[in-house]
Amino acid sequence: MKEKWAQLNAQEKQLVTIAGVLLSLILFYAMIWAPVSNTVVEKRVKLLKQRELQQWATSAIGKIRASQSQTGSGTSMQNIVNSSVRRYNIQVSRIQPKGEQLAVWVENTGFDQLMQWVAELENNRGLRVVTFDVVAEDESGMVRVRGLTLEKA
């Protein structure tokens, strides 16, 4: 190899040296720089996706906690009904779970009290009225609920 190098004139030596440097740079780029650069870009993209996922998860957790606080942090519908009727002095004659729903029957109670109670269930307790069957009693302003079906909103 030294003999071949010695036989080359100055211009050829310069050309071989430049070609060797260029080949070295190309190999460095192809074998080291490009893979490292691509890995960095892929990691940045992955990090951005992870951040988006974290933001979505944080948002979802907040929504879940908010909905649980509306329904008493996961309190059952029957417990919600039982605790709220006391506040409005409503006499429940029967409560019957129906899958994801709850059927409630109420005896002789004031119409205004009943409507305030139902409004609280819907607005503050996270329940939704599915069916509501009310019958007027003989006494003025008094009603009987023959069927009130509730479900979680």
Task: List, for residues 68-92, the tens digit of each pLDDT value.
Answer: 555 444 468 888 898 888 888 899 9
pTM to 2 decimal places: 0.51
Would the pLDDT of 1 be above 90? no
Residue 63: its pLDDT value, please? 78
Asked if 83 and 152 count as a contact pair (C-beta separation under 8 A), the reply is no
Instruction: Compute the distance between CA of residue 145 and CA of residue 153 in angstroms, rounded to an integer.
Output: 21
What does the pLDDT look like over 115-151, one tens digit per residue?
999 999 999 888 999 999 999 888 888 999 999 999 9
Instruction: Compute the distance between CA of residue 121 and CA of residue 55 in angstroms, rounded to an integer.
Output: 32
DSSP 8-state class, residue 8: S
Instruction: Compute the distance between CA of residue 52 and CA of residue 36 in angstroms, rounded to an integer.
Output: 24
Residue 99: its pLDDT value, please? 84
Q: Residue 150 class from Cβ within 10 Å (0-12 exposed, 13-18 middle, 19+ buried)?
A: buried
Q: Which of 148, 72, 141 is nearest to 112 (CA)?
A: 141
Q: Which of 149, 144, 132 is nearest to 92 (CA)?
A: 144
Instruction: Compute the distance between CA of residue 108 and CA of residue 121 in angstroms, rounded to an integer.
Output: 19
DSSP letters along 125-146, please? S-EEEEEEEEEE-SSTTEEEEE
Q: Which of 140, 139, 141 is nearest to 115 (CA)?
A: 141
Instruction: Compute the distance between CA of residue 129 and CA of residue 119 in angstroms, rounded to an integer.
Output: 10
